[in-house]
Amino acid sequence: MKANLLTLACLSCVMTNAFSQTNYRVAETAGSFLTMASDARAEGMGHAGTATSADANSAIWNVGKLADAPGSFGVTATYSPWMPYLVNSEWLGYAAGYKKLGNGQVVGASVQYFSVPGITSASSYSGGSDIAFSGSYARQLGSHFSAGMTLKYVSSNIGGAVVSGAVLKPARAVAGDVGVYYKSVASDAEGDENMIWTVGATLVNIGPKMNYGPNFEFFLPTTLRLGGGFSYTANGQHKLNVTAEAGKLLVPTPVSGRNVNQKPYLKGIIQSFSDAPGGFKEEMQEIVVAMGAEYLYKNQFALRGGYYAENKVKGNRKFFTAGAGVRFLKHYSLDFAYIIPTDSGSPLKDTYKVSASVDF
């Protein structure tokens, strides 16, 4: 059984939750690495980033936030081993940057890379990798509102895996994201205290299906996320940020004896709001919830915590997160996050992220 789980884990670039039980209706997607938390700050806050304050990682969470990023230029990079409890060399890398152009306009670029090792003892799978290159544009549309869009090229190579005698080929697609962000600031007369309210919404990974070969065509992980948050600053030294969001995967719900991946991709996205065999109750089960909090002292030291919950019949990923960060020499920062699954045998056990960022 463990060998089977290990094999499925290494094919996670095809299957979003391959380690879940097969009698549960868990959606299968290509490019599941696109749904993984890209940076240590958001991971430390429970895998939530749709409505948090903007930074160099904004485009991956909500491209609409990018117009509110600090400074005029910023770059960031993140490394994370993925499921080290099961394998030793599977990892996720992410790098991004942005540049403000004036008049409330910002452009950004990023790359995501997911490396998956081969396992010769359990299957004929020889290893592979996923990669996505993205370009983003965001614009301030008013004193409180901003919006943006991202265009990305996604390539998934699962290393010549053989299924039913057929060798699977690399799959490629062009996809896009759209996001909006609202921010309202209220300060006292002295400016020592202020409250910031934020709301964000984003639709990510909108694009055609990825085809690995005969009968191996999968939807991209198109996802709708809605989030909100607030930030309270006292005496210019202490700041508390709190956020929560909900997300839903907009792909067909699996049905026994039917290949739902044969649906046209736009039809599959639209019908994903009402295609669950269990009706409205099951549709609600497909919503995942993420929440987190962040305490900052003098905007130099940060402590973070959060919680992520997925319904037990839709993957059952439930975990707490913890994180910390430090900002130094005015422009540089380091962040760390660690996942604490509620299930001691979870494949996510021992997963962590390290991010380094700079802005000017």
CA 33/CA 67 separation, integer angstroms: 25
Residue the block writes with tokens 């109750």: 281
Cβ-contact 304, 325 below 8 angstroms = yes
Q: What is the pLDDT, as a whole number, of residue 115?
A: 87
CA 232/CA 211 separation, integer angstroms: 47
Indicate the DSSP class of residue 255: B
Domain ranges for the chain = 2-359
Cβ-contact 69, 61 below 8 angstroms = no
Q: What H or E segment, with its residue span, contains residue 282? A: helix 279-285
Q: What is the pLDDT, as a whole number, of residue 6?
A: 34
For 270-305, what is each residue's pLDDT tens digit?
999 999 999 999 999 999 999 999 999 999 999 999
Main-chain dihedrals φ then ψ at residue 251, nearest 5 degrees: -135, 160
What is the percentage of the chain residues whose pLDDT exceeds 70? 88
CA 357/CA 75 separation, integer angstroms: 6
Q: What is the pLDDT, as a whole number, of residue 21?
A: 40
Instruction: List the CATH code of the domain at 2-359.
Output: 2.40.160.40
For 206-250, what is each residue's pLDDT tens digit?
999 999 887 789 999 999 999 999 999 988 789 999 999 999 999
| Res. 54 pLDDT band, cuts 50 70 90 | very high
User: 142 in helix, strand or coil?
Assistant: coil
CA 55 to chain centre: 15
Closest CA to 44 of 295, 321, 334, 354: 321
Q: What is the pLDDT, as a whole number, of residue 2?
A: 34
Q: What is the pLDDT, as a whole number, of residue 90?
A: 84
Report pTM: 0.88
For 19-42, what is each residue's pLDDT tens digit?
334 457 888 898 889 998 889 999
Q: Tokens for 260?
A: 């739902």
Q: What is the pLDDT, as a whole number, of residue 15?
A: 39
